[in-house]
Structure 1
């Protein structure tokens, strides 16, 4: 396990409820496209890796698939098991999945590759458990981020806050360009065939209170950055956040945040 992986485990410990009430709705947007990309249909054996609150697993069950779902965080497993009671939900951490070679017809991972220290090794593991001819589909956040996703980071930057030393980034040799070409190349390097990568664009509709609740609770990297500051600095970040929200508030007082994700898929 890399220093990045260890940091991720600490950051997400016990955060399932806070995630479910803040960022989970945002992350649910690509789910139908992910399932379409791997051709989900009744009776297929499907693995959802990094299931989080179980949105993908529940949707796959809804299409009649035989679903297994894993996550590295116990609190997420508890929520996912309730969301997808028909799924086989287990605690497991990439790149060590508790499944045999070629066990699944399709594997999906919604934003999970953003949270592993060795993305190439993780993809190799996804390929291992996918049968020949099966399909893999994964999503990540792109870089640079879309305007709505960048809002919280802008507030942190405006307060003069950088990334704390206790939150390591990926090692340079493990990272890759977060672009359509870079993401497609990552799947190609994992020996997937007929790789396609698309950019998904949507407006996430929320409220300033809901959007701030995630980082205020320490959810994700942005939350860890916020929570590691003094009370005075957190108040400064919140002040900048409130001011910047004015750029995205519509006539009805809804916070409309433009987002983008990269979705790549290929065949084993």
Structure 2
């Protein structure tokens, strides 16, 4: 598991745009808003919550990390943000027409109980996503080039973890009690600006940020040099065209 404390601004300046890449698939899965209510669980800096609201949803954002809530308040003051997170949400049963969790179940300590909690607060659909090809592939290459041992983050115990594939995601959700499931895989290319990627590293975001934070000055120089080498080799028109994939799951109302 990764520590997200204090990374709200760095996340908002970098990976928020990447994680919004699932929005077209989520939009297609849910259809027109028609004034329905939606809770965005693990809403981060509010990027998706604001997008949902602009399309006519009545949106409540729910986010446990104060720096993420602060980033959301600054960027999207029109979106109400509730302090709270999985596996216990501060809402009554069947409070919303839809419960959404974009790249959240892959970060919680108990994915199955968290998925069941999404089902509890929704009287309609549950939509959730997880990475099947995450940003870690890029940082793994950079780490290898730098000669630095890879980041060894905390892993879920075997009885809590799930296979990071569309089929594995579906199995986990069914074990959590979600029914009438449709799971698909989507892929997209994120045109990442190098300065945004480096902001995520210096800001402590995700595994690469945690790795960098633990390096001494010489290690940081080596990591930065490897990053610059990859940027020089891969950038097209000043951006890196990075491929990503995600499993998108929709559980319809019973």
Per-residue deviation at 1:247? 4.2
- Report the TM-score, using the length of structure 1 for normalisation: 0.87
Which 10-residue stretch deviates more, 115-124 or 184-193?
184-193
Corresponding pairs, count: 252
On the 8 A contact 1:41/1:64 being kept in 2, the answer is yes
Q: List gaps (5 residues or longer) in structure 2.
A: none
Alignment partner of 1:151 out of 138, 146, 154: 138
2:214 matches 1:222: no
2:85 partner SS: coil
Alignment partner of 1:130 out of 122, 147, 152: 122
Name the residue aligned to 1:103: 95
On the 8 A contact 2:25/2:186 being kept in 1, the answer is no
Which 10-residue stretch deviates more, 228-237 or 45-54?
228-237
Runs of 4+ in 1 over 4 A off after TM superposition: none
- Report the TM-score, using the length of structure 2 for normalisation: 0.92
1:26-175 aligned at under 5 Å gives the runs 26-131=18-123, 134-142=124-132, 145=133, 149-158=136-145, 159-164=147-152, 167-175=153-161
2:249 matches 1:264: yes
Q: List gaps (5 residues or longer) in structure 1.
A: none
Residues in 1 aligned to 2:163 and 2:32: alpha-carbon distance in whole angstroms: 29
Change (3 A) 1:83 1:40: farther
Alignment partner of 1:21 out of 13, 36, 47: 13
CA displacement 1:2-30 (0-9 Å, x = unmatched):
xx4xxx4xx22221111111111111111
Per-residue deviation at 1:40? 4.7
Which 10-residue stretch deviates more, 253-262 or 51-60?
253-262
Per-residue deviation at 1:130? 1.0
Alignment partner of 1:234 out of 220, 238, 248: 220
On the 8 A contact 1:102/1:130 being kept in 2, the answer is yes
Per-residue deviation at 1:136? 0.8
2:162 partner SS: coil
